[in-house]
A and B are shown apart, each in its own frame.
Chain A
Amino acid sequence: MKRVQFEHSAIPYLFVAPQIIIILVFFLWPAAQAIYQSFLLEDAFGLSSQFVWFRNYEDTIFSDSWLQAAGFTIVFSAIVTFLSLALALLLAVKANEVIRGASTYKTTLMWAYAIAPPVAGLMGNLMFNPLIGDMYKFLNAIGWDFDHKLDSFDAGFVVVLISVWKQVSVNFIFFLSGLQGIPKSVNEASMMDCRSPTRRFWTITFPLLAPTTFFLMVINITYAFFETFGIIDTTTRGAPGGATNTLVFKVFQDGFRGADLGGSSAQSVVLMIMVLALTVVQFRFIERKVHY
């Protein structure tokens, strides 16, 4: 904090008031509502409700469809995180190596950041459209009996591909700036100590990028959990048979489409706990970073 601060009674409250009020009304209150509703069971017409303790949790979380969604979310997040990080790291390392055309590569690799997930979703969806999509035809032509409307693996493939495509540029930006942040003298020293560029990368560069990588992992997991909603909603919508349902997509489906308020709220609360866990991990890491 600052050595010298203003001491006023009212002014600081005035300054934080807008944000705090909005948070109270649109964040804390709805969150509390979600928690409260997760313990209620409404009758079929939404006229009366009854306090049922953890029944909603038991009903939804131990249901096959929720477990299926949870399983898919975890596998999906792991694959998307790994692939988009690996691809971005490869591109960043290469872009950092070249001298000619470096800024052109940089620009053309990062601009996809600005594309909204549902837009990416629709584009991808059309590429895989059985009527016009060349990707669809291409995959079938090379002997893959591809049909993402019926085959759950193929559907997962489409969703992963689009999600990775959308996420590579963010990771690329961070990796590249991480690489550029490594002091030139360190690179020069390592060049004198180690002849093999590959070995240099894994023993010097990659460890120095570890903080960035860890941070990006958290970001990417969060992305795969939450922001891919827009992609799924414009591609498979959970089809076939719920095989590509993520947890967030299911909350939305059950709450808005299915009008199962209690069940949807219970799922929300479980998601809150997951976010909490992710945040704790992230802060652990930030604390550690301070010691470097």
Chain B
Amino acid sequence: MSKVQLSNVIKTYPNGAEAVRGVDMEIQSGEFIVFVGPSGCGKSTLLRMIAGLEKITDGQIHIDDGLINDVSPADRDVAMVFQNYALYPHMTVRGNMSYGLKNRGMPKSEIDKKVTDAAEMLRIGDFLDRQPNQLSGGQRQRVAMGRAIVREPKVFLFDEPLSNLDAKLRVQMRIEIKRLQRRMNVTSIYVTHDQTEAMTLADRLAVINDGKIEQMGAPIDLYNNPETLFVASFIGSPQVNLLPVTFDGQHLVNGNLKLAGFSDLPNSKELVLGIRPDELSLDDNGQFPLRVDIVEQHGSDNLIYGGILGATDDGVEEMEFCFKTSQDMLPDLDSTLTLGFNAERAMVFDKTTGDRLR
């Protein structure tokens, strides 16, 4: 049970790459934090700085009340699960799990007990005397988790731990990780670029872009109330529909489209309107004529992709929209649907700064 605090953390690699550009964050004891962001945004770097595997260029990291900038990884009392698991290939599962405890001088009987308990919890008790190359991917993943668990660290760190598993196993392990974390109540930081993992695991989600935190909060808040265009487009699957518009005092305008219901927006700026696919609805009085291109049947619901008639991007292409609806809605291709939306729940962003205006 520990809290983690980052203040103005910066990382510049020796080659000049600015991977992290000033991150402030306070993580409460027992919280499950997830870092998401596009590839190369600095998630791993941030995590590795907390682990002590990467030197901090500037700023401070505290665990509980101790400043740990210059504490060695072994003394930070953190445990990490790596993407490729990093199991010691020549040691048995038991050897892998007990190595860290041995190094801490724990008596053998106690180590045995902890390893057995953890193995039971992870259902790898039968494999304790096997070597990693005799295990399946999922089992190796559990061993990597087990190695972290037995240490009973102050903080768990995960760097894309599930990305080497197949889709089904990934869902299963995701649930298991969440369950374990609840049960052990250890502060955890988890890096992923999988939407669903991020949304389902996190108590709070940090969206990282270009070495900075764009927004941090409960996943559902980020979904409902993104503060920036980046967060809005990054969170949510299928992606939010975006339409470049200008404001003429009463309407948002794009080509022939004039969308009513908006006020108090600057009329000189280029804006972007964002509407989630599930906020659209069939509406005979609606303002979006959608010409159907593709219908994807996902089971419980269908996703209908098509061009918005009259709307253009740079005057060339039709804007493509996605409309999420129920499974019995199966329009013909090239037919036209009329869609409406709730202006109250639509989002408007400044195109240049990306800031949310309403």
Chain A's closest residue to B54 (CB) is: A4
Contact count A vs B, C-beta below 8 Å: 3
Least Cβ–Cβ distance between B45 and chain A, in angstroms: 11
Contact bitstring A73-84, B, C-beta under 8 A = 1, else 0: 000000000000
Could you tell me the distance between the alpha carbons of A3 and B55 in the complex, rounded to whole angstroms?
Answer: 11
Chain B's closest residue to A4 (CB) is: B53
Least Cβ–Cβ distance between A8 and chain B, in angstroms: 11
Least Cβ–Cβ distance between A112 and chain B, in angstroms: 35
Could you tell me the distance between the alpha carbons of A169 and B232 in the complex, rounded to whole angstroms?
Answer: 67
What A residues does B54 contact at CB under 8 A? 4
Contact bitstring A1-32, B, C-beta under 8 A = 1, else 0: 00110000000000000000000000000000
Please classify the interface of chain B as helix (H, G, I), strand (E, B), loop, or mixed, using the class held by over half of its residues: loop
What B residues does A4 contact at CB under 8 A? 53-54
Chain B's interface size range is under 10
Least Cβ–Cβ distance between A280 and chain B, in angstroms: 29
Contact bitstring A229-256, B, C-beta under 8 A = 1, else 0: 0000000000000000000000000000
Number of interface residues of A (CB under 8 A): 2
Least Cβ–Cβ distance between B71 and chain A, in angstroms: 13
Q: Quick one: which of B179-238 are within 8 Å of A by CB?
A: none
Chain A's closest residue to B51 (CB) is: A4
Least Cβ–Cβ distance between B169 and chain A, in angstroms: 28
Could you tell me the distance between the alpha carbons of A3 and B53 in the complex, rounded to whole angstroms?
Answer: 9
What B residues does A3 contact at CB under 8 A? 53
Least Cβ–Cβ distance between A2 and chain B, in angstroms: 11
Least Cβ–Cβ distance between B345 and chain A, in angstroms: 45
Contact bitstring B29-62, A, C-beta under 8 A = 1, else 0: 0000000000000000000000001100000000
Least Cβ–Cβ distance between B270 and chain A, in angstroms: 42
Least Cβ–Cβ distance between A7 and chain B, in angstroms: 9
Least Cβ–Cβ distance between A106 and chain B, in angstroms: 28
Least Cβ–Cβ distance between B82 and chain A, in angstroms: 12
Q: Quick one: which of B49-87 are within 8 Å of A by CB?
A: 53-54
Chain B's closest residue to A7 (CB) is: B55
What A residues does B53 contact at CB under 8 A? 3-4
Least Cβ–Cβ distance between B207 and chain A, in angstroms: 26
Least Cβ–Cβ distance between B340 and chain A, in angstroms: 53
Could you tell me the distance between the alpha carbons of A167 and B53 in the complex, rounded to whole angstroms?
Answer: 49
Least Cβ–Cβ distance between A9 and chain B, in angstroms: 14
Could you tell me the distance between the alpha carbons of A83 and B274 in the complex, rounded to whole angstroms?
Answer: 76
Could you tell me the distance between the alpha carbons of A4 and B51 in the complex, rounded to whole angstroms?
Answer: 12
Q: Quick one: which of B323-342 are within 8 Å of A by CB?
A: none
Chain B's closest residue to A6 (CB) is: B72
Least Cβ–Cβ distance between A19 and chain B, in angstroms: 26
Could you tell me the distance between the alpha carbons of A124 and B54 in the complex, rounded to whole angstroms?
Answer: 62
Chain A's closest residue to B52 (CB) is: A4
Least Cβ–Cβ distance between B74 and chain A, in angstroms: 11
Could you tell me the distance between the alpha carbons of A4 and B53 in the complex, rounded to whole angstroms?
Answer: 6
Chain A's closest residue to B55 (CB) is: A7
Chain A's closest residue to B53 (CB) is: A4
Could you tell me the distance between the alpha carbons of A146 and B53 in the complex, rounded to whole angstroms?
Answer: 73
Least Cβ–Cβ distance between B32 and chain A, in angstroms: 26
Could you tell me the distance between the alpha carbons of A259 and B123 in the complex, rounded to whole angstroms?
Answer: 77
Least Cβ–Cβ distance between B115 and chain A, in angstroms: 26
Chain A's closest residue to B73 (CB) is: A4
Could you tell me the distance between the alpha carbons of A107 and B43 in the complex, rounded to whole angstroms?
Answer: 53
Could you tell me the distance between the alpha carbons of A89 and B54 in the complex, rounded to whole angstroms?
Answer: 50
Least Cβ–Cβ distance between B338 and chain A, in angstroms: 55
Least Cβ–Cβ distance between B197 and chain A, in angstroms: 25
Least Cβ–Cβ distance between B87 and chain A, in angstroms: 17
Least Cβ–Cβ distance between A102 and chain B, in angstroms: 28
Could you tell me the distance between the alpha carbons of A3 and B54 in the complex, rounded to whole angstroms?
Answer: 9
Could you tell me the distance between the alpha carbons of A242 and B53 in the complex, rounded to whole angstroms?
Answer: 64
Could you tell me the distance between the alpha carbons of A3 and B49 in the complex, rounded to whole angstroms?
Answer: 13
Least Cβ–Cβ distance between A266 and chain B, in angstroms: 46
Least Cβ–Cβ distance between A262 and chain B, in angstroms: 50
Could you tell me the distance between the alpha carbons of A4 and B54 in the complex, rounded to whole angstroms?
Answer: 7
Q: Quick one: which of A60-78 are within 8 Å of B by CB?
A: none
Contact bitstring B286-324, A, C-beta under 8 A = 1, else 0: 000000000000000000000000000000000000000
Least Cβ–Cβ distance between A25 and chain B, in angstroms: 36
A-B contact pairs, 3 of them (CB 8 A): A3-B53, A4-B53, A4-B54
B residues near A, CB below 8 A? Answer: 53-54
A residues near B, CB below 8 A? Answer: 3-4
**What are the 3 tightest A-B residue pairs by CB atom distance, in nearest-first order?**
A4-B53, A4-B54, A3-B53
